[in-house]
Chains A and B, each alone.
Chain A
Amino acid sequence: MVEERRILYEHLDVPDINTFDVFRQYDGYTRFEKAIAEYQPEEIAQMVLDSGLKGRGGAGFSTGEKWSFVPRDIEPRYLCCNADESEPGTFSNRYVLEKNPHLLIEGILICCYAMGIETTYVYIRGEFTLGKKMLDAAIKEAYEKGYLGKDVRGTGLNIDIYTHPGAGAYICGEETGLIESLEGKRGQPRNKPPFPAVQGVFMKPTVVQNVETLCNLPFIVGNGVEWYTEMGPTYADTRFDPPKPDANTGTKLYCISGDVNEPGVYELDLGLTCTELIEVAGGLRGEEVKAVIPGGSSAPILTHYELDTRLDFTSLTLAKSMLGSGGIIVMNETRNIVDCLLNIMKFYAHESCGQCTPCRWGTPWVRDIVQRIADGNGRKDTITRPKFGVAENGRWGDTGETEEIYEDLDLLESVANNIANVDTMTWNTICVFGIAVSWPAVSYMRKFRPEFEAAIREGKLVTLPVAEATVPPEENYAYQQRFIPKEFADL
């Protein structure tokens, strides 16, 4: 039985941990003081790079590497903390904000020190009213205690934190959409390049980090890189010679929901399998697992064949999915995948910012197609066309067999791939919202095609038994790895 390893959440349940004094009793701000006393800013940045910390917001990009892109000769630089946690199925940041906001402030302080940043903006999801209230109170306290403001603790550092509430748009969780919104504009993502590390908030170099990523910093500084890298697997990327270490270090706040007995946020080492995770969350509610969404609603779905997939950045990328924000949704045999996809597509059609063409008009189209299938209006006149091949008389021609074509499923796949192609991982859109739409659309459809076909055939939603509903891995290229060869081995 796997045990939780609480680091970020260790003191979450301590009463009044949100106040400075209590936080201080539990080593609060000592890590920041250690950073200032013992390390140069560049050393901290190197520690973060060495720790292999990957951004917890969704993309899983190496934090240290991201910091290295920030030009240190341009002033001012900004830190932007992304607390716009809006991915369906994800709810780990809000607990930090609501219960232990000082931990975030300490993470911000360390990041500001390492990057020489004086101003931080915390963009908080509009719905997190309590979280914002708690964070604001904590910031006020930190100012009073001299951990924020001019000349922090007599070190000569000036660090300010401003909180900014969002107004309820999913796309403002995309880093450049967030920046636009923060600047007071319509929350629409920017074209990249330039990346925020070069031109971010007010066109100045900006580090954009998720709450969870920042909360990891105090522990990396406090306990050292070695302690941190012991958690989670490090793979060897054999595409490089010599193999390059591919770190998936640290713990992750997994938000487990759906058909499990004890849904909630669990802090676990990276690299556990789906099965283990379901066990941690009190086991499955129901007979058998039908599907698992591993990383928030935009991640491609995993079938019951893939339950041994390790839930870390690299393994899930190899499994043609992604860890994303760690929002894990478990579905049992009673769930209808068409219905699930419809739910998700409704969300994305509603949340598309409408800036660029493929997403603006593609997402509602995909939704409409799924809606039509779910309503039983999927085009019933499934075309049967002659199958060409070597015929009985030994000559090339009509074999006499017919092939069923589900027009709407082909259309669904084609439209989704035109927004963002999941096979080549290319998108025609400005931001990755496009791929967040087509990933679920295509993966659900390919992996659970029998259920979609049944809905069209029967004219209503039909929930098939798990074994029948799922396409086995050997029959479907949806399972095949994307573009990274599978020559990864444990170091």
Chain B
Amino acid sequence: MALIKLNDLEIEVEDGTNIVEAAREHGIEVPHYCYHPGLTRPANCRMCLVEPYGPIPGAPPGTIGPARQLATGCTTTVRTAPPERKLEDKYDAIVQTDSPRVKKAREDVLEFLLVHHPLDCPVCDQAGECDLQDYSYRHGHDKSRYIEIKNVPPKKDLGPDVLLYSTRCVVCTRCIRFAEEVSGTGELGLVHRGSHDEIDIPRSHEGTPIQLLDNKLAGNVVDICPVGALISKDFLFKSRPWFMEKANSVCSGCSVGCNITVEYKADGVYRLKPRFHEDINQHWMCDDGRLGYHYVNSDDRLQLPLKRVDDALTPTHWADALTVIQEQLSEVEAEDIVVIGSAQATNEDNYVLQQFAHDVLQTTQLGLFGQLPGEEHKFPQFTIEADKNPNTAGARTILGAANGNVVLEGDALWEKVSGAKVVYLVSGAPERPLGDAEKAALERVEFLIVQDILPSEVTQLADMVLPGTTFAEKDGTFTNSTGWVQRIRKTIDPPGEARVDWEITQQLANQLGGEMNYRFAGEISLAIAENVQGYADATHQNIRDAGIKLAE
């Protein structure tokens, strides 16, 4: 640990910490553009200049003063100094981040940054979460002295989801470094020189793109762009950032379990952004997850229970639907019932489901359903996993918790299904295609109950469809492939009459004579902690935003 004096604060930081991070940890802002903790540090924006102190050359020993040159806070790291090089006998470094010189330097750099900037905040998507805007307010001049002609480089379409408004670019090169270091695809570079520097993708002489910015991590460049230069086409002109609510959640796109922030308004989810987690996704998330939220807002969402009447699914009300299911379930023997949980559902959903199967239906035939595996994509600093379900690990453990860890999957499951009379299937994977064998098995079922979020191949075969909820509409936990249990949080209300999955199961259980009385997801997590091996610490109170890693 190094002891540093930062302005008037005396703080201890890890060796190797840079000044920007050391200051941030203690609530002092050192403005910066090019520095990003997940990338290398070129120190080209010159915004994070700080004033280090050191011995004055030629002065008597022990005299210290400000260094002649300001130093960039991002590249200036502090280390424990040997005793003879301590400053004022105890400090490893003395740094001022708010001296007049530093303030002047910031003002000057900001003035330069705004010289060619179009100042189009009113129509810029970044306004409200823009570092240029924020720092200008906090550290900048109140007016511009620039009266010359501004550079107007062209707007560029870089890839499927990324637009570049070159005029707003501050050439911090975060995006270039991201494409080189994290995604390793290197589509981006600088063209021209000096004040005509532009970020661009490789192009032929005629200007036709040779390589688009279309890697699966491309969306991250929009997040790391400190200004409004790189803009997501998906979010373009949709909403002002300050109108959106934010909730910390977990991406449901694959089993990596990237930490995300869901940004939403009352009428739906607007965008997903990655949230830092050191061990899982660092600062990043993939575009599949980022853009994969649209089904939440879909007009086709199941909003009412559907009952098969004369070969057609017709809307009905909950009381009717549950009564019909109750009748069907009470007519058959336990061994004729198969209950299938979902790798898309939360641990809480699956726990209530398995409790329902064991305690009420008295069946041990529990299966697991979910998305088919996709492709794995490996990048230098990021991996998109093949398993497209967020909670396969959790579902397996929890569905099998009271069952000797036997969960039916694959052929074994469909064999059981084809011999069953009533099947209660929780899906949550609307896009999943059904194989011929799977389809045949489901068709043979006398009464198929499907709990899903969108019309799918499974709901077409169902005799009763119950509208469930997506990750954005409920509380709960997901367990990722590396054993991290993490929270998802309710953001918007479910559409129409759709209900949270465990609530549907619980009501059904209670109608069939069960005695379940969970009032909120956190309560279920307490039950999970008590009854499921390895989950003893995984209560909502303990998990918080960082998640909890299960013991190996």
Contact = CB atoms under 8 A, between A and B. Distances in A.
Interface of A: 169, 186, 191, 239, 349-358, 360-365, 368-369, 372, 411, 414-415, 418, 424-430
A428 B170 contact: no
Contacts of A360: 112, 171, 194-195, 197
B113 A427 contact: no
A372 B116 CA distance: 17
B193 A368 contact: no
B108 A356 contact: no
A318 B271 CA distance: 61
B70 A428 contact: yes
Given A360-B194, A361-B113, A426-B68, A418 B108 contact: yes
A424 B51 CA distance: 15
Given A350-B194, A362-B112, A357 B47 contact: yes
B458 interface: no
B194 A191 contact: no
Interface stretch (B38-46, B221-229, B319-327, B470-478): B38-46
B56 interface: no
A354 B194 contact: yes
A191 B75 CA distance: 9
A426 B149 CA distance: 29
B46 A426 contact: no
Interface string B191-205: 011111100000000
Contacts of B336: none
A428 B197 contact: no
B146 interface: yes
The 10 A-B pairs with the shortest beta carbon distances in the complex, nearest first, are: A418-B108, A368-B148, A354-B197, A352-B194, A354-B194, A361-B112, A364-B195, A361-B115, A356-B44, A191-B43
B121 interface: no
Contacts of A349: 194-195
B143 interface: no
Contacts of A411: 145
A456 to B, nearest CB: 14
B194 A357 contact: no
Interface of B: 42-47, 49, 58, 68-70, 72, 75, 105, 108-109, 111-113, 115-116, 145-146, 148-149, 170-171, 190, 192-197
Contact of A354 (B46, B111, B190): B190
A415 B171 CA distance: 20
For the residues of B in contact with A, the DSSP-based class is loop
Given A356-B45, A356-B46, A372 B111 contact: no
A403 B8 CA distance: 43
A190 to B, nearest CB: 9
7 contacts: A354-B171, A354-B196, A357-B113, A360-B194, A361-B116, A418-B108, A424-B68
A414 B111 CA distance: 12
A355 B145 contact: no
A357 B105 contact: no
A168 B113 CA distance: 27
A239 B56 CA distance: 14
A357 B46 contact: yes
Contacts of B111: 418
A425 B67 CA distance: 12
A354 B145 CA distance: 21
A428 B170 CA distance: 16
A201 to B, nearest CB: 19
Contacts of B75: 191
A429 to B, nearest CB: 7
Q: Give the most central of B42, B43, B105, B108: most A CB within 10 Å.
A: B108
Given A349-B194, A349-B195, A365-B115, A430 B109 contact: no
Contacts of B43: 191, 356, 430
Contacts of B69: 426-427
A349 B196 CA distance: 10
B58 A239 contact: yes
Q: Give the most central of A357, A411, A414, A415: most B CB within 10 Å.
A: A357
B194 A353 contact: yes
Contacts of B112: 357-358, 360-362, 365, 418
A425 B43 CA distance: 20
Contacts of B47: 357
A411 B111 CA distance: 13
B145 A191 contact: no
Contacts of A362: 112
B64 to A, nearest CB: 18
Q: Give the most central of A239, A355, A365, A427: most B CB within 10 Å.
A: A355
Given A191-B72, A363-B195, A355 B42 contact: yes
B68 A358 contact: no
A186 B42 CA distance: 13
A5 to B, nearest CB: 36
A186 B47 CA distance: 22
Given A354-B195, A372-B148, A428 B68 contact: no
Nearest to B146: A365
Contacts of A191: 42-43, 72, 75
Nearest to A358: B112
A239 B58 CA distance: 8
B194 A428 contact: no
A162 to B, nearest CB: 26
Given A357-B109, A361-B112, A411-B145, 9 more contacts: A349-B194, A350-B194, A352-B195, A356-B44, A357-B170, A363-B194, A414-B145, A428-B49, A428-B109
B53 to A, nearest CB: 15
Nearest to B151: A364
A365 B44 contact: no
B46 A429 contact: yes
B202 to A, nearest CB: 14
Given A418-B112, A428-B70, A353 B42 contact: no
Contact of A428 (B108, B115, B116, B171): B108
Nearest to B190: A186
B59 to A, nearest CB: 12
Nearest to A418: B108
A368 B116 CA distance: 13
Q: Give the most central of A191, A360, A363: most B CB within 10 Å.
A: A360
Given A191-B72, A358-B46, A364 B108 contact: no
B93 to A, nearest CB: 15
Contacts of A425: 68
A416 to B, nearest CB: 11
B68 to A, nearest CB: 6
Nearest to B170: A357
A426 B190 CA distance: 28
A354 to B, nearest CB: 4
A483 to B, nearest CB: 9
Contacts of B195: 349, 352, 354, 360-361, 363-364
Contacts of B108: 358, 418, 428
Nearest to A417: B108
Contacts of A430: 43-44, 46
A28 to B, nearest CB: 41
A368 B148 CA distance: 7
A415 B192 CA distance: 24
Given A357-B170, A358-B109, A428 B46 contact: yes
Q: Give the most central of A361, A411, A428: most B CB within 10 Å.
A: A361
Given A349-B195, A364-B195, A428-B49, A357 B44 contact: yes
